Amino acid sequence: MEAYSYTISHASCLTIILLFFRGAQFRTAFKKLKTLPAVFEGVPFIALSGTLTASQLKTLPSTLGLLNPALVQETPNRENIYLSKVSKLPSSDMCEIYESIFKEECELLHRDPKSYPITLMFMPLFYMSHAAAYLTHLFGQRDIHNSCYSVLFSRQEKAVIKATVDDLHQAEPRIRLVLTSSVAGMGFDPPSIVRVIHTKPPRSLSHYLQEIGRAGRRGQPSNAILYYNKKDVAKNLPGIQDDIVQYCGNDDTCLRQMLLNTFGFSIPDNNNKDKCCSYCSKQTGQEC
């Protein structure tokens, strides 16, 4: 699920500069690019992004020094992905909270790996190690070439990452559950994934949009499940954005509409409420 935005400043020249935007810290360096149009007079610029919010889009021309840019956008709406939020188990023990999520998934996988939906489970690295240990307890020691699960993180061996991605591109993948951090965001696009689980919210809806977009790449029905509690979206957390705080805290609005609003789009008139999100399903009495 990605929003594509292109900002173009027209000029007749052979040179084009491509700019790719991802993350607030990365975008900070782009403020220095404002002088380029003056240095390279007459050179056309094209700025590309998969996750610019509506508010960021308004400031982009000024940030890059572009005059009267043309704007081309495509909606980030992926109707095949059902959106849902789940309030976490109330507990003061963080390990207990995360275990209540990953143990259920691990046991379902162990019970019947072949019917388990191919799933990405995003979780903090510390609890990811607990989940991996529990999978080893259930399945015994496994090699990545004969295992039905994998673990991906920034320092994981390249051979493990390659074996995982290669298997997930097969028509019938052997690997059904991938425990992961944010490394499975943009650029990670195996077509077989039909479910994305977040054991805690990311820091913004831009990141959430990228990560749930790994599901349903062939257009097949998929699910995005977000577990959260108030501590996960406390406003004093470093880097937390208001959009994800509102998304988690608002229980009286369509989740798809909240997500699309952030990127300047509206929910389509023909939206199927039964297959939209957990809020809409409750309203129709057809909750998944």
Query: What pLDDT was estimated at residue 90?
Result: 83
Query: Which CB contacts under 8 angstroms, 24+ apart, belong to 229-236?
Result: 229/87, 229/88, 229/90, 229/97, 232/88, 232/200, 232/201, 233/201
Query: What pLDDT was estimated at residue 136?
Result: 97
Q: Where are the alpha helices (DSSP H) in 43-152?
A: 54-64, 94-111, 125-139
Instruction: Say how far apart CA 202 and CA 273 lie, in whole Å.
Output: 25
Instruction: Say how far apart CA 62 and CA 11 lie, in whole Å.
Output: 18
**pTM (2 decimals)?**
0.85
Q: CA nearest 34: which of 70, 65, 71?
A: 65
Averaged in consecutive runs of 10 residues, what is the pLDDT profile of the chain (288 residues)? 45 41 56 76 77 80 80 89 94 91 97 97 95 96 94 91 94 96 74 97 93 94 96 92 95 95 90 92 73
Using alpha carbons only, how large is the chain's radius of gyration in Å? 21
CATH superfamily of 81-284: P-loop containing nucleotide triphosphate hydrolases (3.40.50.300)
**Residue with the two structure tokens 């963080």:** 94
Q: Would you list the domain boundaries of the chain?
A: 4-74, 81-284
DSSP 117: P
Contacts (Cβ under 8 Å, ≥6 apart) of 270? none
Structure tokens at 107: 């046991």
